[in-house]
Structures are given as structure tokens and as C-alpha cells.
Amino acid sequence: MTDILFGQSYYLRFDPKLWDAMMPYPPLGTLYAASYVRGKGYKVALFDAMLADSEEDWAKSLDEHQPRYAILFEDNFNYLSKMCLLRMREAAFTMIEMAKQRGCIVILCGADATDHYAEYLSNGADYVLLGEGEETLGELLDQLSANKDASQIIGLASKLTLHPSRRPDISNLDSLPFPAWDLVDVPKYKKIWLQRHGYYSMNMVTTRGCPYHCNWCAKPIWGQRYNSRSPENVAAEMKWLKENFSPDHIWFADDILGLKPNWIEKFADLLHTNDAVIPFKCLQRADLINEKTASALAKAGCKTVWIGAESGSQKILDAMDKGDKVEDIYRASELLRKNRIEVGFFLQFGYPGEAWNDVQMTLKMVRDCAPDDIGISVSYPLPGTKFFERVKMQLGEKQNWIDSDDLAMLYRGPFPQEFYRSLHGRVHYEFRLRRMLKNWDIKRLIRAPYYLAGLCKTELILRIMLWKSLLFDNKSAEVM
């Protein structure tokens, strides 16, 4: 019998867009929590919803392990958990019910549970951990195991809690044990990655939180705080992963990697000293990338940097409280490419006040900077943000997407919803064409039997016309 069965409610199969992409990562936040309480002497097991078929697999895991505690500890490093997708919330409610039917004490932790703890409690959860979770969970388990009252624990919400409060975050992240990777079916993940992409990627985090003030970014877990592991601690984990699992690639899931002065430079030196270099991708702010950091990232093995570019209009960046400039995005792209680092842009359309000219500025930025990849979304109002407060009177019954491919405008955007759906497709289409034109001769493209297979005559003519306009008339290559 297991003391604790950990799980989470993000099922990749319930998210068609990302199921098709098939780039799965285990729930890192859940693995940290499991490792933490195991260090306190509890026997733990893991149900990994990421690759599960449905909630029925959770029920089977409950029957197999017969835990006293069923803990849905969401991966707070996964931005999809922060988006509070409705399909995953429904899954969590179902999983709570299944655990209660089996007599478990049910504990929740995550962004959506923190924002809507009363709703989770009304659906059967016994306790909700507000914010970060590990220390609150450890204290709660100790109290419950000793049959003591837990109602006064800081950072905890229950039906008996009148005014729940937040616990201070863990500032010394080096004190935490490494994630419990032994609980993960690593061979299954590795097989999927190798079959679909030809390499195996694992996930890590070096920090918790973000100190910047983008007014559309929800921060239900860490607020404005930013705590960082030491470069020595991170390098030691990378060496451990390399020796035990031999990943080909690392995804750093931090909001910002290496914000502290000289962190990246020291990290790069430690990786080389300890033979711990693994190619990786990470997120960075454009205004933090200079010649020194770009060079250090390359030395550390960075393959790709994703930038929250959002918009090519300074008016929109200022309205978002981004705190950086459009020229920062141009300069960062140039410096990263100079150091042979790929560049990805996160783009956001539909922010209040965005006009057609602002859209065109964003498209011009993409054409000028020529990133290696792009991710496009419409602005998404999350609870607890200034943006949400600004548009909440426009929100209807639906206030969250069902899955990450939903793309619904939840408020009255500057243009109709279908405009943004069309824009999303057209921008991706032009981006792919430009990348092909960059790497292929147009005559070779026209002769390519695999690419042209299945295209009707009319569609083929339209594509050739667009290729021609992109090649010879960049000024007229507007998307719409």
C-alpha cells in the first residue's frame, strides 16, 4: 500500500493541437513535490496523465496503489496549467470524485485550484494548497498523519478555513531535492521523442517566478517574486541527467533563464568544467540579451531561445506593460543568430487597442527578423491580471479555452473572432513559405512531387502566385 499517489490533470490526449505535435514532457512540478515529501519519509507513487488515455487510467492507478492520500499537484512550470483549460478542469473534478469514492483524502495544488479553490472544494477536494505547495503539503501530511488539526496551516484552504492566506515562497531553491525522475516511465517518453523527432528532450527549471509586470500574464503561484537556483546546483543536475538518462536536449521551462547578473556566464563555465553540456532551449526577454549573454548562451550549449516578442507595435507593447522596445527584439534576434542560436517568437494578436496598422507592424517584424519558429495566440484574459480586470465586464459564460487550440476571443477584440482565426492561419502559412523559399530553390519546389502531391490546380496556382509575390515584391506581401 502506498501512502501517496501523485497525479495531475493535464492529459495530452485531451489537447488535440499538442497531441498532434507530440512533444511530451513529464509534470516537473509534480515530480518536485513527490521528491520533497518522499524526503520526509512518505511512500509515493506517480500517475502521469501526460501520456494516459483518460481519467479511467487514474482510477486503475488508485486501485493498484490504494493510497491514503490522492494528490493532484499540477505542473506549475507548464504554461498550459496556468491557462486553466476547461477540459483539464473537468478531468480534475472527475479525478477528485474517483479518489473520494475510494476513501482517499484528496489534496489539490495548481494555478486553477489557487484561483478557484472554493470550486474545487465544492467538487469534493478536502484541501487546496495555495501557491507554491511543497512546504504546505509537507506540514499538512505531518498533521494529518498524526491525527492533528490542520485548519490553521498557512497556505491551505479547506471547508473549515475562513480566510486562507499564502505561505512565503521557498527562497533557497538549492535546498530542494532533484525531481523524482525514477517515478517516470522514461523509456516510453524517449521512444516517442526518437520516433517523432529523432532526438530525446527532457525538462528542467532553474528559477521560480518572474519579476516583470506584463499585465496579461497571470502569476497565481509566485506573484512578482523571482527565486533562482545557483548555477552550481543546475550544472550538477544536468550532469546527473546526462549520466543517468543521456538526453539529447533540455527544455528549460523557466519564465526567464539567468536573470541574475553573470549567472549564464558562470553556468556555461561550470557545464564545460564538469562535462555537463547538453543542447537546450529556453525563454528570454529581448531586452536582456546583449553580446555578452548571447555569447555565454552559445557557450553553454543553447540551441534555441524563445522570445516573448508579442507585437511589433510599440504602442501595444506599452499597453501590455512589457517594459521593452521593438528595437530590443530586432537586436536580440541579430545577436542570437550571430552566435548560431535559433530564435523563436511568441506573438499575440487581439490586445485591446490593436489596429490594423499594429497588426502589419507585427508582420513586418516577423519578415524582417525572420525567426526560426513562431507561436501565435490571441490575447487571453487570465484571473488576477490587470488585463482580466479591464475586460471582465465583456466576458460571457465561457471564460477559459477548452483546449490550447481553441483560440476563442473571450472578450470583444478589435476585430471579429473569425478575423483572428484567419490571421492565425495566414501568418503561419506565409511563415512556412518564407522558410521554404529560404532553404529551397523555387524551381526545385515546383518540381517536388511530395510537396505538390494532392494539391488541386487552383490551389497550386495560388501558391505559386504567393511565392512570386514573396520573392519579387516584399513590400506588397501583406497577409490579408
For residues 11 and 88, give the distance between their C-alpha atoms in angstroms, rounded to a whole number.
7
DSSP state of 253: -
Burial class, 7, CB count within 10 angstroms (exposed 0-12 / middle 13-18 / buried 19+): buried
- Which pLDDT belongs to residue 446? 54
- Which pLDDT belongs to residue 478? 46
At 201, give phi and psi (nearest 5°): -115, 140
CATH level 2 (architecture), domain 4-157: 3-Layer(aba) Sandwich (3.40)
- Which pLDDT belongs to residue 440? 61
- Which pLDDT belongs to residue 442? 53
CA–chain centroid gap for 400, Å, is: 16
Contact (CB, 8 A) for 244 and 266: no
- Which pLDDT belongs to residue 454? 47
The CATH number fitting domain 199-438, selected from 3.90.1720.10, 3.40.640.10, 3.30.70.890, 3.20.20.70: 3.20.20.70
Walk along the chain (480 residues) and give the pLDDT tens digit of each residue: 799 999 999 999 999 999 999 999 999 999 999 999 999 999 999 999 999 999 999 999 999 999 999 999 999 898 887 777 899 999 999 999 999 999 999 999 999 999 899 999 999 999 999 999 999 999 999 999 999 999 889 999 998 887 788 899 999 999 999 999 999 999 999 999 999 999 999 999 999 999 998 998 877 778 778 999 999 999 999 999 999 999 999 999 999 999 999 999 999 999 999 999 999 999 999 999 999 999 999 999 999 999 999 999 999 999 999 999 999 999 999 999 999 999 999 999 999 999 999 999 999 999 999 999 999 999 988 877 888 888 888 888 788 888 888 778 888 888 888 898 889 888 988 898 888 777 665 555 555 554 444 444 444 444 554 454 444 444 434 444
Q: Is the dihedral of CA 354, 355, 359, 364 positive or negative?
A: negative
- Which pLDDT belongs to residue 473? 43
Query: How many CB atoms are located within 10 Å of the residue 461 CB?
Result: 11
Identify which of 316, 313, 320 has the alpha carbon closest to the alpha carbon of residue 365. 313
Rg of the chain in Å (alpha carbons): 23
- Which pLDDT belongs to residue 381? 86
Task: Give every CB contact of residue 272 below 8 A, 6+ residues apart in sequence.
Answer: 299
DSSP state of 167: P
DSSP state of 102: T
Contact (CB, 8 A) for 104 and 96: no
For residues 284 and 470, give the distance between their C-alpha atoms in angstroms, rounded to a whole number.
30
Element (H, E) at 435: helix 417-439
Identify which of 111, 204, 124 has the alpha carbon closest to the alpha carbon of residue 159. 124
Q: Considering the entire predicted model, what is its pTM?
A: 0.89
Residue ranges covered by each domain of the chain: 4-157, 199-438, 440-480
Query: How many CB atoms are located within 10 Å of the residue 234 CB?
Result: 25
The CA–CA distances, whole Å, from 298 to 235, 251, 286, 294, 337 equal 16, 15, 16, 6, 10
Torsion of CA 43, 188, 20, 434, to 10 degrees: 120
